[in-house]
Structure 1
Amino acid sequence: MAEHNDFGKLAEDAACTFLESNCYDILERNFRFLKAEVDIIAKTENTLVIVEVKARSDNHFINPEDAVNKKKMRLLVAAADEYSQSLKEDLDVRFDIISVLKTKQNILEIKHIKDAFQSYEI
């Protein structure tokens, strides 16, 4: 596996650990629908949380969270709609971004951006 793929998996694992430590239940990882892939689908209280994980080994050019563009947002909304329709319960849906940045000391800094965007904004 390529080094960037290894880092991406490591970042997703760290994001899941972070969410679980903050009382989120992880329902799915790498959920696919058409051309969309949702990194993490979690639940907290009465909310289904669609999480995009963005990781970078440095932020010289762009912060990880800034890499989520309108096209990706539209794909996430479509996948969230598909997933939520399969559920037996009626949940609110929220779109979050977890930014993972590797420091020079090889520490992963995690930034959780709740309500990163709304489906009606795109």
Structure 2
Amino acid sequence: MATHNDLGRQGEALAKAHLEANGYEIMDENWVFGKAEIDLIAYKAGVIIFTEVKARTGNGFGEPEDFVDARKQKLLVQAADEYIYVMNHQGDVRFDIISVLFDRNSNYKLKHIEDAFWPSAL
């Protein structure tokens, strides 16, 4: 199986392809602000979608999306707030999670969770 970083890049590439195939425009990838990184920032129907991608090779410790904990959500919100400010976005925003679960044969199951969380900070 791929190393940790390769697995993450592969998961992000699959997530990006999934979003594009479903009519999303990718605005940015791996956007960094402070200690936070937003994997994919997409746009569809006037909404900016901040997307966290989690890829794993097993779910013995939980599903990939379970690893987007409150601390990670807070960092994502801080980065999103800055992105909204920089882009002067006046419309709606949404936070999604795309989880990619690989098996031993490199087959995968992709799950797109829309409105995965709604932070009170925005």
For normalisation by structure 1, the TM-score amounts to 0.93
SS of the residue aligned with 2:111? strand
Q: Which residue of 1 aligns with 2:109?
A: 109
1:88 deviates by 4.2
Give distance in 2, aligned partners of 1:45 and 1:88: 17
Give distance in 2, aligned partners of 1:88 and 1:78: 15
Deviates more, 1:31-40 or 1:101-110: 101-110
Q: What is the identity, as a one-letter code, of the residue corresponding to 1:27?
A: M
Q: Which residue of 1 aligns with 2:28?
A: 28
Q: What is the identity, as a one-letter code, of the residue corresponding to 1:43?
A: Y
Q: What is the identity, as a one-letter code, of the residue corresponding to 1:8?
A: G
Structure 2: gaps spanning 5 or more residues: none
4+ residue runs of structure 1 moved beyond 4 angstroms? none
**What is the RMSD of the two structures over their aligned residues, measured on CA atoms?**
1.4
Q: What is the identity, as a one-letter code, of the residue corresponding to 1:77?
A: V
Give distance in 2, aligned partners of 1:78 and 1:101: 27
Q: What is the identity, as a one-letter code, of the residue corresponding to 1:37?
A: E
Identity over aligned pairs, percent: 47
Q: How many residues align?
A: 120
For normalisation by structure 2, the TM-score amounts to 0.93
Q: Which residue of 1 aligns with 2:41?
A: 41
Residues 20/106 of structure 1: CA separation in 2 closer, same or farther (3 Å cut): same
Give distance in 1, aligned partners of 2:104 and 2:94: 32
Give distance in 1, aligned partners of 2:49 and 2:119: 13
